[in-house]
Amino acid sequence: MHPLKTRICLQKLGAVVYPVASSSDSHNAAQAATLAASMLSLGFAPSRELHAALEASRDAELAAFQAAVIPVLQELKGAHVSHAPLYPNFPAQVMQTSEAELLLNALVHYWSGGTWKPDYEALPRELRWEHTKPREVGLASQEDYLAIFPRLLSSNDSLSEEDRGYIEHFMVEEPELRYPDSIPFKENLCVVAGMFLRAGKDIAPFVKTATDLLRVVTYLNEGDVSLASNTRFQSMPRAQRRAIVALLEQVANEEDLDRHRGKWKRLFHSLHVSEYASERLGALVSKIRNNEKVVSFNGRVERALQEGELEQLIALLRQRPGVFARRLDEVLRKYDEPALQAQVVGAFADVADEVPTRVLVQMLGHFQSRAAGAERRVVFPKGMAQKARVIGSAEPLAAEVVARLSEGLEATLRARFAQLEPLGKVWIDPELARCPVPSQQRSASPGGLSVARGTHLPLGDERKTTLRLFVYWVGRDIDLSATLHDEDFGLIEPISYTNLRSEAYEACHSGDITHAPEGASEFIDITIERAAEHGVRYVVMNVLVFSGPSFAKHETCFAGWMTREHPNSNEVFEAKTVEHKVDLCSNSRNAIPVVFDLVERKAIWTDLVTPSYVAWGGNNVESNQASIEHVLEAIVTAASKLSLADLLRLHVEARGELAESREEAERVYGLEGDLTPYDINRISAEFLA
């Protein structure tokens, strides 16, 4: 089995494809149990169906399963490498060592360029039982696996880079693929078109505009298909250049070319466009190259907005409902008289049915908080290398306007959802009110949680006393830090290389390692109840490159967290206690993978990269304190995204019946059930359609 196929199945299906013997004389109960034990040690357990299939397998089949599946499970938990903290008897050793000894060890380590480490004997660690809930691995068919492909392409939002890689894998490795009737999101469509063009196939059916074609060529040049950043276009084979120019002949218009003028000018040079262009296309190319003015639709909208020509502005925006949706808030702020705002809202309502569901859902989330006006919010600049920004909110809108607009948006969505298949009786878990609708997945980190940023997830059960953070990397100096904050988001104390322990909060760091050519790990322990009792509400996990290149230029870097009952027992890194692990490979030097609410015992998935603020002490939490506090506040108080509970409620109101309890429901939507926040591709394909 291809290892990537195994990974795809585990991530998307929670299962593996494995043959089920119709009849077999084999009865390998002992070997199947051994495999199950290996899986349990990593925090996974075979389902009854998978275990039965393993028991009915021959020795060679079991060996193949072990070789294909166990390494992938190890990698998903971070157990495929060795973890050795600077202080091997962490955490007790750090808490008991004198301040003078800790300081001296750090200084000598730094003076040696990171090559010297204190030589402590690793003492035997007591073995204690840790209560864990293993993740079940089910049995999938080849048909189940192949069905992932059309679901990915049916997404109504951007896919992560990892998911785009899965599409490529399917197209290369699987000859019998079913394509969906349409690929609604342009960035995803360009992956298929780019693969086809690379194979010499006709892509005319995929290309409707010059911007579509620009995305395809950008994809071929490994650039940002959202077109948010520039791409260095490489030289292309003559046949490919001719095919691209022929497509451009069919779709080019000056406004479309002008929208990305700089990119097209660079691409025209790489295409040698003058060798193939017709007279009409040549004239368009010349106009773009010579920077001649193009009167665009957006330019006319801007002029009408600035000159206060409301009637003309509405007439223009009605022509392009998507633009109307994006600029509606701006127009309502410009015309703040109630009668004029009512006119604008009414005009949008007339064309709202032409706006994609994804955009309507985003609007509903955005406007639900516009009457109150949040102090800050986190935004993600478009693009794959996006970095979160914290910005202030605009002046609030009148509550009456927001209410009327929200009612209209909900009515439009219900009418649209009513055309879909009936759902029957559905129970919606109230916990989904704290799980945002997924969006902007293009920059989601590989190996991370397949949930939307801002999703609140349980932080272990009450028996788990300790939160243990970890990072592993190969390369130069990467630091793991945790900042402890009060309920008003203010920093109380950092746990980092500058402050290895806090007796008040029973928290400690495993020691700073600054040189890791063969790999290194750092850990942080926080005693949950003790910290909460002493005023800590939030813990922000920070991974920072102290000095040197970005995460993307490191050979390996991943981070995650565990919950432990007995922190001084068993191995420091215990795979089965790992809650989640995420690969850090963005072109940045600061990452905030997750925030923890110790009072409510929740992990709030953030998966953020943020700008670096480097003071004299280097890139550390002290230099970035203000940024961390602002990001924390914006994440916790975020109200500008529709929740999964609200989206699913609209669906059920339109095409089902709300059940009062889980027991009486035909379908359960919640943290566990028929649809969960982890089903991000299904949500995007089926519930944002």
Q: Say if CB 252 and CB 268 are below 8 A apart.
A: no
**In terms of Cα–Cα distance, which of 155, 680, 669, 184 is closest to 444?**
680
Record the tokens describing residue 260, joined without a space. 């990305």
CA atoms within 13 A on the CB side of 219: 25
Residue 38 C-beta-side C-alpha neighbours within 13 Å: 18
- Rg of the Cα atoms in the chain: 27
What is the arithmetic mean of pLDDT over 241-249?
Answer: 95
Of 309-313, 446-450, 600-604, 606-610, least confident by mean pLDDT is 446-450
Alpha helices in 356-496 (DSSP H): 357-367, 399-417
Spatial distance between the Cα atoms of 609 and 79, rounded to a whole number of angstroms: 24
- Cα–Cα distance between 621 and 614 in angstroms, integer? 10
Structural domain boundaries enclosing 535 = 455-636
C-alpha distances in angstroms, 215 versus 7, 220, 279, 582?
28, 9, 24, 28
DSSP calls for 541-603: EEEEE-SSS-GGGSSEEEEEEEEES-TTSS-SS-GGGEEEEEE--SS-SEEEEEEEETTTTEE
For residue 376, the cross-strand partners are 392
Overall average pLDDT of the 227-256 stretch: 93
What does the block give as tokens for 333? Answer: 């702020």
Per-residue pLDDT band for 21 (boundaries 50, 70, 90) equals confident
Each residue's pLDDT tens digit, 292-330? 999 899 999 999 999 999 999 999 999 999 999 999 999
Cα–Cα distance between 189 and 213 in angstroms, integer? Answer: 11
pLDDT at residue 372 is higher than 90:
no
**Contacts of 164-169 spanning 24+ positions with Cβ under 8 A:** 164/188, 164/191, 166/4, 166/8, 166/12, 167/191, 167/192, 168/195, 169/2, 169/4, 169/5, 169/8
CB atoms < 10 A from the CB of 131, how many? 11
Query: Is 537 a member of any domain?
Result: yes
State whether residue 135 is helix, strand or coil. Answer: strand
Indicate whether 349 belongs to any domain: no
Please report whether residue 559 resides in a domain.
Answer: yes
610, 636, 662: which is the final residue of a domain? 636
Place 392 in a pLDDT band, splitting at 50, 70 and 90.
Answer: low
Whether pLDDT at 575 is above 90:
yes
Q: Which of 636, 652, 670 is the last residue of a domain?
A: 636
CATH of the domain at 609: 2.60.60.30
In a domain, 382, yes or no: no
Is the pLDDT at 375 greater than 60? The verdict is no
Residue 536 has pLDDT above 70, yes or no: yes
The predicted-structure confidence for 264-300, as pLDDT tens digits, reads as follows 999 999 999 988 889 999 999 999 999 999 989 999 9
Q: Which tokens is 353 given?
A: 């049915």
pLDDT score at 390 = 67
Tokens of 479: 């630091």
Q: In 3-state terms, the chain is what percent helix, strand and coil (to 5)? A: 45, 15, 40
CA–CA separation, 504 and 498 (whole Å): 16
pLDDT the model gives residue 382: 63
| 414 assigned to some structural domain | no
What the block records as the tokens of 557 is: 């870097």
- Tens digit of pLDDT for each residue in 612-654? 877 656 788 888 888 888 888 888 887 778 999 999 999 999 9
Nearest residue to 554 (alpha-carbon basis) of 523, 519, 512: 519
Q: Which tokens go with 101?
A: 């000894």
Find, among 3, 74, 78, the residue nearest to 557 by Cα: 78
Q: What is the three-class DSSP state of 624?
A: coil
d(CA 242, CA 272): 9
Total tally of structural domains belonging to the chain? 2
Question: Helices (DSSP H) in 83-237: which residue ranges?
Answer: 92-96, 99-111, 142-146, 148-153, 161-173, 186-198, 210-220
Is the bond preceding 91 in cis, omega lying within 30 degrees of 0?
Answer: yes
Helix (H) or strand (E) holding 195, with range, is helix 186-198
Q: Is residue 649 part of a domain?
A: no
Residue 96 in this model has a pLDDT that exceeds 50: yes
pLDDT given at position 522: 98
- How much is the pLDDT for 374? 57
List 564's β-bridge partners, or say none.
466
Give the tokens for residue 533.
């009792």
Q: Is residue 584 part of a domain?
A: yes
Work out the pLDDT band at 383, boundaries 50, 70, 90.
Answer: low
| Amino acid in position 687 | F
Q: What is the pLDDT of residue 385?
A: 43
pLDDT in tens, 408-417: 999 999 999 9
Tokens of 171: 């197209």
Q: Note if the pTM is more than 0.85.
A: yes
User: CA dist 7 to 63, 75, 162, 166, 208, Å?
Assistant: 18, 10, 11, 10, 34
Q: Is 60 exceeded by the pLDDT of residue 386? A: no
What percentage of residues in the chain have a pLDDT greater than 90?
Answer: 83
Query: Is 446 a member of any domain?
Result: no
Phi, psi of 516 (to 5 degrees): -140, 60
How many other C-beta atoms are found inside a 10 Å radius of the C-beta of residue 426? Answer: 22
Average model confidence (pLDDT) across the chain: 93
- Is residue 26 within 8 Å of residue 57, measured between CB atoms? yes
- Alpha-helix runs per DSSP H in 484-574: 528-533
* pLDDT in the model for residue 391: 67
pLDDT digits (tens, 9 = 90+) for 139-186: 999 999 999 999 999 999 999 999 999 999 999 999 889 999 999 999
Stronger pLDDT, 443 or 56, i.e. the higher one: 56
Contact 417, 655 (CB under 8 A): yes
Q: Distance between CA atoms of 50 and 29, rounded to whole angstroms?
A: 12
